[in-house]
Amino acid sequence: MDESSAKDLLRKYRDNTLTDEEMALLESWYLARAKSANLALNTDELEKQLDMVWESLPLNQERALRQKTRTLPLLKWVGVAASVVIAATIGLNFFRKAKPQPPVSQGVVVGDAIPGDNRAKLTLANGQSIMLHEAVNGKLAQQGQTAVIKTKQGEIVYEFETQEGSGPSRGLAYNTISTPRAGQYRIKLPDGTGVWLNAASSIRFPTVFPTEERVVEIVGEAYFEVAKVSKNRKRVPFKVRSGNQIIEVLGTRFNVNSYADEGAIKTTLLEGSIKLKVNGAEDRGVLLKPGDQARLVTNIRKNASQPARPFEVKQINTSNVIAWKEGYFRFDNVGLPELMRQLARWYDMEVVYEGTIKDYEFVGQIERDAKLSKVLRILELGDVHFKIDNKKIIVTN
C-alpha cells in the first residue's frame, strides 16, 4: 500500500468512518513501516496519526490503559473487534507496491470450525481411562495413598492421603494425562507443581514422587510452575524429559514446545533458572536466564552428527510464548506454515497448500475462542486466501 492510500485511510480514521477491514489493513501497513529501519515517516502529521494507530493496537492496550494519557476514539472499535484482529506483515515489498485490497466479503470462507476447549484423558497406572471433561467433580480415583480429584474449577489435583493400616508403596505408579487436538487442560502434580497442557500434548508422571528427584515426561507443549520441594534441607530437583532433551529445575516457571512437526524443541524461561542438556551427549548443556529461549533442532538428517553446540539461545518476548495459556494466539513475525500448524492443532483441522507458499509473516493477537472463519477472514486481508472443505483448510494463492 502506498503512502497516498495510507493517507486516505488516515482521513477516514479521523472521521471515524473506517471499516474493520480497512483498520486491519492500516494497522498492518504501519507495523510493516515501523519495523523497517530505512523507512522514515515523512511528515509530522503522518507520524502523529500512525502513532495513534499504534497505541490503539490490541497488542498495546494494556500499556495504553496503564498510562491513561488520553482517550482514543479507536478504543470503541478495538472493544468490538479485538477478539479477531490480526495485523499481517506480508513482507516490505508487498506494502510498498501492492494496491489497496478490497474489503473481504463475508462469503469468502465457506464452512467453519469451533475452537478447542478444556478436554483431556487421564490414563491410570492400571490402564483405566477417564475422560476428564466428562467426569463429575470430586474424587475420580484412589491409587495407593494418592487421591485423584477434579476441582470445581475443572483442574486435576493429586492429594496424598494417609490411610490407616497402609504401608509404603511398592515401586512407582505412573499416570498419563493427554489432550487431543482442539483440547487443553490444567493439572496440579503430586508435589504441587502446576502444569498447563496445550492441544495434542501429554504428560507422564508418578502418582508419588520419590525423595531424591522428580521426573516427568512430556510430548507437545506444556507450561510449568514448578513447586519448590526440600528434603533434609536440600532441594529436590525437578526434571522434564521431552524427546532427547532434559530440563533440570529447582523451582521456576517455563514453557516447553516439543511438537514433532515443529522440527525443534523450544524451551522458554520466565522465572528462576533451568539447565538444558541433550540426553547422552558429552556437552555440559546450557543454563538459561529469564527471557531466554533455547532451540534444540530435532529434525537432523540421518547419519548427520549433532552440532558441537546443540542449543541456540536468544532473548525473546516471553508473553508471546505463553499467550496460549492466557487464551490467545499471539504472533510476532511468525511465518505462515507455523501459524497454520497452530490453527490446525487448536481447531482440529488438516492444512493443505495449493501452489507455492508465499513468504508471509504475521504480527498480532487473536483470542483462541474465535471461530475459525473469523480468523481466516482477517488473515485474508493480507492477500492470503483460504477454503474450508470439511476438516481441511485449503490455502490458495
C-alpha cell at 184: 487443553
Lowest-pLDDT range, 89-93, 264-268, 391-395?
89-93
Taking CA 45 as the corner, what is the angle to CA 40 and CA 48, rounded to the nearest 5 degrees?
75
> How far apart, in whole angstroms, are the C-alpha atoms of residue 182 and residue 264?
22
Q: Which is it for strands 361-367 and 328-335: parallel, antiparallel or unpaired?
A: antiparallel
Query: Of 340, 332, 341, which Cα lies nearest the Cα of 384?
Result: 340
* 85 alpha-carbon distance from chain centroid: 17
Q: What is the pLDDT of residue 93?
A: 28
As a whole number of angstroms, the distance between CA 207 and CA 189 comes to 8
51 falls in which pLDDT band (50, 70, 90)? Answer: low
Residue 392 has pLDDT above 90, yes or no: yes
Choose the weakest-confidence range: 32-41, 126-135, 382-391: 32-41
pLDDT at 320: 92
What is the mean predicted confidence (pLDDT) over 56-75?
39
Other CB atoms within 10 Å distance of the CB of residue 15: 8
Give residues with Cβ within 8 angstroms of 1, minimum separation 6: 25, 29, 95, 98, 99, 100
Q: Are 365 and 85 within 8 A, CB to CB?
A: yes
CA distance 234 to 389: 57
pLDDT score, position 98: 34
Question: Which of 63-72, 169-178, 283-292 is least confident?
Answer: 63-72
Mean pLDDT of 282-291: 87
212-234 confidence digits (pLDDT tens) = 999 999 999 999 999 999 988 89
Query: Which residues lie closer than 8 Å to 258 by C-beta, 6 or more apart?
Result: 218, 219, 220, 221, 242, 243, 245, 265, 266, 298
Residue 136 pLDDT: 95
pLDDT at 171: 73
Say what the pLDDT of residue 9 is: 76
Segment 179-207 mean pLDDT: 97
- Please state which of the ranges 1-10, 270-279, 309-318, 335-344 shows the lowest mean pLDDT: 1-10
> Which of 2-6, 39-43, 112-116, 320-324 comes out lowest in average pLDDT?
39-43
Contact in structure between 176 and 202 (CB atoms under 8 Å):
yes
Q: Out of 73-82, 93-102, 169-178, 331-340, which region has the weakest mean confidence (pLDDT)? A: 73-82
Indicate the range of 161-170, 183-192, 348-357, 368-377 predicted with least confidence: 161-170
Distance CA 332, CA 365 (A): 9
Q: What is the separation of C-alpha 338 from the centre of its chain, rounded to a whole number of angstroms?
A: 11
Contact 383, 98 (CB under 8 A): yes
Distance of CA 379 to the CA centre of its chain: 18
Does residue 164 register a pLDDT over 80? no
More confident residue, 374 or 55: 374
Q: What is the mean pLDDT of residues 167-186?
A: 86
Angle formed at CA 340 by CA 338 and CA 341, multiple of 5 degrees: 65
pLDDT band at 97 (very low <50, low <70, confident <90, very high): very low
The per-residue pLDDT for 176 is: 98
pLDDT bucket at 147, cuts 50 / 70 / 90: very high
Between residues 380 and 92, the one the model is more confident about = 380
* pLDDT tens track for 313-359: 999 999 999 999 999 998 888 889 999 999 999 999 999 999 887 77
> Which of the given ranges, 54-58, 182-186, 210-214, has the highest pLDDT on average?
182-186
pLDDT at 168: 46
Give the distance between the most distant pair of CA atoms in the chain.
82
